[in-house]
Every structure is written in C-alpha cells, then in structure tokens.
Amino acid sequence: MSSTPQVKTNRIGLPVLEYKGGKTTLCAGCGHNAISERIIEAFYEMGVQPERIMKLSGIGCSSKSPAYFLSRAHSFNSVHGRMPSVATGALLAQRNMLAIGVSGDGDTASIGIGQFVHLMRRNLPIIYIIEDNGVYGLTKGQFSATADLGSKLKSGVLNDLPPIDTCALAIQLGATFVGRSFSGDKRQLGAMLKAAIAHKGTVMLDVVSPCVTFNDHEGSTKSYKYVKDHEETLQEVSFVPHFEDIAVDYDPGSTLSVTMHDGSHLQLRKLEEDYDPTDKIHAITRLTEAHDKGEVLTGVFYVNTKALNFLDMLNVVDEPLATLPESVTRPGREVLEAAMEELR
Ligand SMILES: Cc1ncc(C[n+]2csc(CCOP(=O)(O)OP(=O)(O)O)c2C)c(N)n1
Ligand code: SF4
Ligand SMILES: [Mg+2]
C-alpha cells in the first residue's frame, strides 16, 4: 500500500500554496511576475502568518501585482502615487501588521514623488518595492522619470531628461535599508526580501523589472539584455533567519554580517573591497559613479538597524486603534474643559 506524499510546510505548518495569489493577468515574461514569485517564496520561507501582512499599491501593471501573491493577506489598491499615505495611516492604526507596498517607477517617481519622499524620511516600517521598467507599462510605454538619458522608445524617440535615482534619493532622505536588484536574479532578490521582512524600518528596493511589451528592445537600458550585459554586483547577498539554528561563520575581512532586529543575519560577501553599506555618503557616491559609467549596480547599498522607526518615535500603542476602548480614546470632560479654557 502506497502512502500519500507529505506536502512540504514551513515552520508555521503552511504549504507554499497558502502564500500564492490569483492567476496573473500581466504579459508572459513581464519582470513583475518573477518578483511576485520571489515575494511568495520569501514570506513562505520566513514563516510569516499571511493574515499578519498588509499589501498595498498604487496604479500600474506593477501595482496590480499584489493580486497575484498572498491571497490570505489584507490588501489595499490605492490611488495613483498615493500608496505611502494609505500605508502610513494603516500602520499607525495597526502597528502589529507587516506592510509590503508595491509601486512602479511611474507611480513612485512621477505622480507619487511627493508622497515617496515623505515616506522615506519617516522610517516607517514597510517594505517598499519599485518594480522599475523605465516606462508607464499600463498606459502603453511612455518614458518614466527613471528612464536613462539617451535611452530609446520602441518608436525611436530618445529620452532627453536625466533619470531620478530612487535609491540615492531614499538613502539621502533617511530610509534605513536600501538596495537594487533585478527581477531575473532569483538568489539575490530572494535574500534581500527575506532580510527586508526581518528589518523594522523603511526598506526601499528598486527592482529592475523589464517590460517585455514596451521596453525590452535595443536602445533600452531596462531590457533583459542590457541588465545582463551591464550588471555590477556589490556583494553576494545571503540571509540566515533567526529560527535556523546555524552558527554564522564568516571571514570578517571579506564578509560583513549585519544582525537584523529579530536576530537574523544578513551576510554581505564583499566583491568591492572598500564598500561599506553603513556609510551613507559613500553609498550615494558609488551610485553616482555607477550611473556615469552606465552600470546597473545591484546589492545592498545602505543599511542601518539602529535608527528609531516612525511608530516607536511616536510611541504608538501596541493595541490596534480600532479595538481600543472608548474609555481610553475619548478624553474626559475635565480634559475638554481644560482645552476650552486654553482657547479663551
Ligand atoms: C491620477 C491618474 N493619472 C494618470 C493615470 C494613468 N496611469 C495609469 S498607470 C500609469 C503609469 C504606470 O506606470 P508605472 O507606475 O511605472 O507602472 P507599470 O505599469 O510600468 O508597472 C498612469 C500614468 C491614472 N490612472 N491616474
Ligand atoms: S505592459 Fe509591460 S509592464 Fe505591463 S504587464 Fe505587460 S510587460 Fe508587464
Ligand atoms: Mg513602470
């Protein structure tokens, strides 16, 4: 008699199926689909209860992708470029949730830039992902503000404006975990996402994610071929979660081990001898150099596990605001009278 094969489960007893979402409606080969796959694996491998997660987005093909992962999580598809304010409100109301926001380069760097910069300066605990294809995919491929100077649309039109480097901007503004990866780099992106889940501050990941329909041709700097030919990696990124009882063993000369908030270890095996991801100024300089050389620099550019996050800074209570009793949320008559007195 043959026994039924056991379904593999994670440390909280769930199979990977419980982390999946609906069937994608994006184009076959779109980089955004590969990123959804990595998000599913990262949350499964980290054993996060799906109902503890809130997923948020704006508008765009990228912003549709939360429908294709973590069906059991809470979800909010906001207005174009306005996901940061919705995320801020949601986390202030319920700080025990784990937030992941998915945006596009158009959603973030054009219409949403005002909200993006204020999110970065607050160090709100959220994983903010830009699925960066250099175009507005959903509205048929116009250049976005991350498109490189001189890159070419399918129609032959040249981009005559310089790009915004969202990573340099995020570092300068105060985000505490900033990196760039490529949708096609399973290992690097997977390790960065797991470290992101362990980080308790703003994680900003710019993931180059080719749009196969509008921006994967000769002359594009966000095509699969361009990234493969011009990628420079800063480190080999690996991650040891706190629940895997593996002694962290590394050569301090060539590897940097960062202890995350939950005791996990992010290990960065340096490929560039003098790169220090705790040095903000160096990170911005290195990004500027890479840009000038036409390199697609990937890796963890900046990490700071010491800074206070927005919720701790405001001393937000643990209990969700919605379930706080009226006796706590409603000021008594004396408090109101004292306030009125001050206004007299
Ligand atoms: C207020 C508003 N302005 C413009 C649009 C049209 N629009 C929809 S998606 C989009 C850009 C999407 O680009 P991006 O964020 O890069 O996502 P992608 O589709 O490339 O993944 C625009 C301009 C809109 N939906 N709402
Ligand atoms: S249009 Fe581009 S960005 Fe949108 S789903 Fe298709 S390949 Fe992806
Ligand atoms: Mg885009």
Whether 328 shows a pLDDT value over 60: the answer reads yes
pLDDT tens, residue by residue, 31-72 = 999 999 999 999 999 999 999 999 999 999 999 999 999 999
Which pLDDT belongs to residue 248? 73
pLDDT digits (tens, 9 = 90+) for 254-264: 899 999 999 99
**Centroid of ligand 2 to alpha carbon of 106 (angstroms):** 13
User: Which ligand is nearest the CA of 111, by number?
Assistant: 1
Using one digit for the tens of pLDDT, what is the confidence trace for 155-192?
999 999 999 999 999 999 999 999 999 999 999 999 99
Q: Is 215 in the pocket of ligand 2 (CB under 6 A)?
A: no
Q: Does residue 246 surpass a pLDDT of 90?
A: no
- What are 80-98's pLDDT values in tens digits? 999 999 999 999 999 999 9
Alpha helices in 123-159 (DSSP H): none
Confidence of residue 2 (pLDDT cuts 50, 70, 90): low
Scanning 29-165, the segments in alpha helix (DSSP H) are: 31-46, 61-64, 83-93, 105-106, 113-122
* H/E segment holding residue 203: strand 202-208
287: enclosing H helix or E strand:
helix 280-293
Average pLDDT over residues 241-263: 86
Cross-strand bridge partners of residue 56:
76, 101
The CA distance from 170 to 302, in Å, is: 10
Q: How many angstroms separate the CA atoms of 87 and 73, rounded?
A: 14
What DSSP string runs through 307-334?
Answer: SPPHHHHTT--SS-GGGS-HHHHSPPHH
Q: How many CB atoms lie within 10 A of CB 273?
A: 7
Give the model's pLDDT for residue 247. Answer: 73
Q: What is the pLDDT of residue 174?
A: 97
pLDDT for 283 = 97
Both tokens of residue 81?
Answer: 């470029």
Q: Is the shortest distance between the CB of 237 and ligand 2 below 6 Å? A: no
Residues 6+ apart with CB under 8 A from 339: 331
Among 247, 246, 269, CA closest to 257: 269
What is the band of 274 on the pLDDT scale with cuts at 50, 70, 90?
A: confident
Measure 289 CA to ligand 3 centroid, in angstroms: 24
For residue 158, what is the DSSP state? B
Angle (CA) 130 131 137, round 5°: 125
- Provide, rounded to the nearest whole percent, the portion of the chain with pLDDT above 90: 91
* CA distance to 4, 6, 164, per residue, from 1 (Å): 10, 15, 63
Question: In sequence order, which residues have a C-beta less than 8 Å from that of residue 158 and are 6 or more positions away?
Answer: 150, 151, 152
Partners of 129 in beta bridges: 102, 205
Give the helix ranges, DSSP H, for 136-209: 166-173, 186-198
**For residues 199 and 265, is the Cβ–Cβ distance under 8 A?**
no
Q: Which of 164, 112, 177 is nearest to 134 (CA)?
A: 164
Q: What is the pLDDT of residues 129-149, one digit of tens each?
A: 999 999 999 999 999 999 999
Q: Are 114 and 82 in contact (CB under 8 A)?
A: no
Cβ neighbourhood burial of 154 (10 Å; 0-12, 13-18, 19+): middle
Cβ of 214 below 6 Å from ligand 2: yes
Whether 1 has a pLDDT exceeding 70, the answer reads: no
Q: What is the mean pLDDT of the chain?
A: 96
Please choose from 64, 143, 211, 216 the residue to mutate so as to test ligand 2's pocket, defined by most ligand atoms within 8 A of CB.
211
Q: Which residues have any ligand 1 atom within 6 Å of their CB?
A: 59-62, 80, 104-107, 111, 131, 133, 135-139, 144
Q: Which two tokens stand for residue 305?
A: 């596990």
CA angle 82, 312, 333 (to 5 degrees): 90
Q: Are strands 202-208 and 126-132 parallel, antiparallel or unpaired?
A: parallel
CA-to-CA distance for 338 and 321, rounded, in angstroms? Answer: 24
DSSP classification of residue 264: -
Unique residue bearing structure tokens 């709100």:
124
Mean pLDDT calculated for residue range 283-289: 96
Average pLDDT over every residue of 25-33: 98
Does residue 215 surpass a pLDDT of 70?
yes
Tokens of 154: 């399918």
Instruction: Give the residue-averaged pLDDT of 288-311.
Output: 97
Tell me which residue of 233, 230, 236, 235 sits closest to 295, measured CA to CA: 230
Report the residue among 146, 213, 223 best suited for mutation to probe ligand 2: largest number of ligand atoms under 8 A from its CB: 213
Strands (E), 124-189: 126-132, 135-136, 142-143, 177-182
- Given ligand 1 and candidates 32, 77, 136, which is best to mutate, with the most ligand atoms within 8 Å of its CB? 136
